[in-house]
Structure 1
Amino acid sequence: MSSEYGLKRHFNGEAARLIGDRIRAVDPGFDVEGYAAEVEARIPGKELKDRVLVLAEGLRTRLPAGYPDALPILLSVLGDELAEGEGMFNASWYLMPVARFVEQYGLDHPEASLDAIEEITKRHTGEYAIRPYLEQHYAPTMERVARWALSPSHNVRRLATEGVRPRLPWARTLTVFVKDPLPVLEVLEPLRSDSSEYVRKSVANNLNDIAKDHPDVALATALRWLEESPTPETQWIVKHGLRTLVKKGDQQALALLGATGGEHVRVDRLRITPGSVTIGDTLLIGFDIENTDDRPHSIAVDYVVHHVRKNGRTIPKVFKLTTFELGAGEKRSLEKAHAIKEVQTRRYYPGEHSIDIQVNGLVQATERFGLRT
């Protein structure tokens, strides 16, 4: 249920019954069937976020009119806290409308709502619900976020970092942090070597967001973290947090990760077969790579597909291939299968496409293939 399409189809009348039955256990008068019927009638043609809003609106009209009275009833459906590795969109996906309820209707009661978001995130996530509170109640919300970063709950610590991500997918951009990422970095500071993989992924994603707008700040932060806490956990965060800069061939980011010496690596015999494909086919990319230096190098190999757009221009998309140590004078052969299939974020157009082989940020070889409709 990770994709938006895969998730949205679950938010229907059956989801309303699931939530309604749990509410009725503490509020016997809750109209479960009426709630389910309303949701089922209103969701056709709607995408994920609008479907979730329909469920939240149905709750608002059926719970007590006063938000402080409705909130405890709604929080009674939360269940147990998720353990490390339990997915918020798997075990507790149905709580998304509960979080949306707090996001939509609780802004006049920030303290109670932030308490609720903390409890929700232990079972689901509060990363979307918190964003209007950051915009309308900045100071008290950031004070709460700072406390969350020190929580014994890995879910709450993860909320501290994920909730302040400047460019969180599926959410509104937090322009205040796009302009000035320093408050975000203060939140990340105690989490730079966190014991939880769930938290570390969020810290890395947050650093990657910052790198898109402030690469120098992200690089300086990564360097300091590696110097001050050279743990495997910090190293992992830095590696994944600089991934956008690495894909762009940023030499400082590559050097920070130990991938240097791209100028000493040679790519020969780049082969793309077949030379002409249609959507649904698979390309086989093959080439030889050789270290011409007299010392070993850490190698990061990417390939860049230049997709033809409707206007005939091309736009590059970087794909990760592999990383490895290449000894002095060593030569290897690499292959990669690449499927030509449409996804929600990419459409294909006919024409001549090209593929670059990029080693440690430097383009070393280019070949072309044709795409037919």
Structure 2
Amino acid sequence: MASEYGLKRHFNGEAARLIGDKIRTVHLEFDVEGYAAEVEARIPGKELKDRVLVLAEGLRTRLPADYPDALPILLSVLGNELAEGEGMFNASWFLMPVARFVEEYGLDHPDASLDAIEEITKRHTGEYAIRPYLVQHHALTMERVGKWAQSPSHNVRRLATEGIRSRLPWARTLTVFVKDPLPVLEILEPLRSDPSEYVRKSVANNLNDISKDSPEVALATALRWLEESPTPETNWIVKHGLRTLVKKGDQQSLAILGATGGEHLRVPRLRITPGSVTIGDTLVINFDIENTDDRPHNIAVDYVVHHVRKNGRTIPKVFKLTTLELGAGERRSLEKTHTIKEVQTRRYYAGEHTVDIQVNGLVQATERFDLHT
């Protein structure tokens, strides 16, 4: 998904003009320049969601006051449905304020609004717009979601799973599904081997959300799916849906994914160079891994960087490294480069950083490096 920072800079007066020009082809009195000027004046200092809200508010004051009259005007400018692989934040990013319009102003007209969300998601996404409807019109919305899960449109099927994620990024947590994920799993059932990669990724993300609050439910579901639907598509979904548990070293999730022999695996040598770095430098993590058993084992290898925070405490971040089969008695050398660079979600602070090598969820070796900022 595109970063929030990367998206927010697009929502400005030019975005308002782009949307306004499309609206004016069907609603001649729409004030495009007034809309663009208002947006440009109100967005300074605002982050992504607040910028999108500014554009939605500007639409509300310039379209017919009656929501059922305004909605068809917006829907008439949506364009063609996105094909598989066309990113919503590439081809149709400018439709985010249209979805926000339905999210903010359509709750008194749930049937028409859910129809609109279905059409919007074919060209953009309705995963955020649907959230208040799940709260205020829960039964009606879940009935619709169940129908969406059977849709011939991969975009609509994806909405059925993405819209009900309990911990969707950039959205409020849906506590109703945190407490009881079973209604969500009922929706996911027909999608557990979906032909669309777009849908499968969403199903995996949803299963991963469930694993954070109800790991036993997620594990039981993953195991049942693999038994009842032994397809490459289901296997991919389960692998990615259990990723948080795997990173935490959960042994049951590792066993489900075929990782075995943890008690026979060791890392007798680990070296990190250089031992002292600054931001922008690259570390080289070099180590040996050994299988002491008399039979081969499938293994998952991760490394964990314990980042120093401003208060001096550390927070671990798990990075996937590789999966491989290690033969009986085999010893193999692995190497990974890791660049110390700040990203949108992480800042670095000076201090001693610890690096763990984690094999099948168990820490087998630890080394350190110093970071100077």
Task: Please say whether Structure 1 and Structure 2 have the same fold, judged by a TM-score greater than 0.5.
Answer: yes
Deviates more, 1:334-343 or 1:14-23: 334-343
Residue pair 1:263, 1:362 contacting (<8 A) in 2 also: no
SS of the equivalent of 2:91 reads coil
Report SS of the residue matched to 2:325: strand
Whole-Å separation in 2 of the counterparts to 1:365 and 1:216? 29
Distance, in Å, in 2 between the alignment partners of 1:130 and 1:120 is 11
- Residue 207 of structure 1 corresponds to which residue in structure 2? 207
- Residue 221 of structure 2 is matched in structure 1 by 221
Which amino acid in structure 1 is aligned with residue 279 of structure 2?
I
SS at match of 1:57: helix
* Correspondence 1:330-345 to 2 at 5 A: 330-345=330-345
How far, CA to CA, are the matches of 1:261 and 1:153 in structure 2?
A: 43
Partner of 2:262: 262
Q: How many angstroms does 1:311 deviate by?
A: 2.1
Name the residue aligned to 1:64: 64
Partner of 1:51: 51
Q: By how many angstroms is 1:136 displaced?
A: 0.3
The runs of 4+ residues in structure 1 deviating greater than 2 Å are: none
What is the CA deviation profile of residues 173-200 of structure 1, one whole-angstrom value per residue up to 9, with x for unaligned ones? Answer: 1011011111100110110110100000
Q: Secondary structure at the residue paired with 1:90?
A: helix
CA distance in 2, matches of 1:33, 1:315: 48
Structure 2 counterpart of 1:368, one-letter code: R
2:6 matched residue in structure 1: 6
Aligned AA (2:67): Y
Paired with 1:348 and 1:3, the residues of 2 have a C-alpha distance of 19
Matches of 2:313 and 2:124 in 1, distance apart?
Answer: 42
Q: Determine whether 1:163 maps to 2:183.
A: no
* Residue number in structure 2 paired with 1:113: 113
**Is the 1:299–1:360 contact (alpha carbons within 8 Å) kept by the matching residues of 2?**
yes
Q: Secondary structure at the match of 1:193?
A: coil
Which residue number in structure 1 is paired with residue 134 of structure 2? 134
The aligned counterpart of 1:39 is: 39
Partner residue of 1:87? 87
1:288 is matched with which residue?
Answer: 288
Residue 299 of structure 1 corresponds to 299
Separation of aligned partners in 2, 1:157 and 1:187:
10
- Structure 2 Cα separation of the partners of residues 304 and 244 of structure 1: 13
Q: Aligned partners of 2:323, 2:242: CA distance in 1, in Å?
A: 15
Residue matched to 2:176? 176
Q: Distance in 1 between matches of 2:49 and 2:312?
A: 34
**Mind listing any 5+ residue stretches in structure 2 that lack a counterpart?**
none
Percent pairwise identity: 89
Cα distance in 2 for residues equivalent to 1:200 and 1:156:
13
Q: Which runs of 5+ in 1 are unaligned?
A: none
CA shift for structure 1 position 352 = 1.1
Partner of 1:326: 326
Give CA-to-partner distance per residue, 1:74-124, whole Å, 9 cap, x none.
001100000000000000000000000000000000000000000000000
Deviation at 1:289, TM superposition (A): 1.1
Task: Write the letter of the residue equivalent to 1:203.
Answer: V
Q: Which deviations, in whole Å up to 9, do the C-alpha atoms of 1:125-182 show, x marking residues without a partner?
A: 0000000000000000000000000000000000000000000001111011011111
Give the structure 1 partner of residue 250 of structure 2: 250
Shift of 1:310: 2.0
| Corresponding residue number in structure 2 for 1:367 | 367
TM-score (norm 1): 0.99
CA distance in 1, matches of 2:221, 2:246: 16
User: How far has the Cα of 1:344 moved from its partner?
Assistant: 2.3
Secondary structure of residue in 2 paired with 1:367: strand
Q: Distance in 2 between matches of 1:343 and 1:178?
A: 29
Q: CA–CA distance in 2 between the matches of 1:310 and 1:65?
A: 50
CA contact (8 A) 1:266 1:290 kept: yes
Cα distance in 2 for partners of 1:243, 1:283 equals 25
How much has 1:39 moved relative to structure 2? 0.6
Deviations 1:273-322 (A, max 9, x none): 11011112111111011211111111100001111122222111111111
Looking at structure 2, the residues matched to 8 and 313 of structure 1 have their Cα atoms a distance apart, in angstroms, of: 32
SS at match of 2:203: helix
Provide the secondary structure at the position in 2 that maps to 1:122: helix
Counterparts of 1:326 and 1:85, CA distance in 2: 36
Deviations 1:18-46 (A, max 9, x none): 11111011011111111111111111111
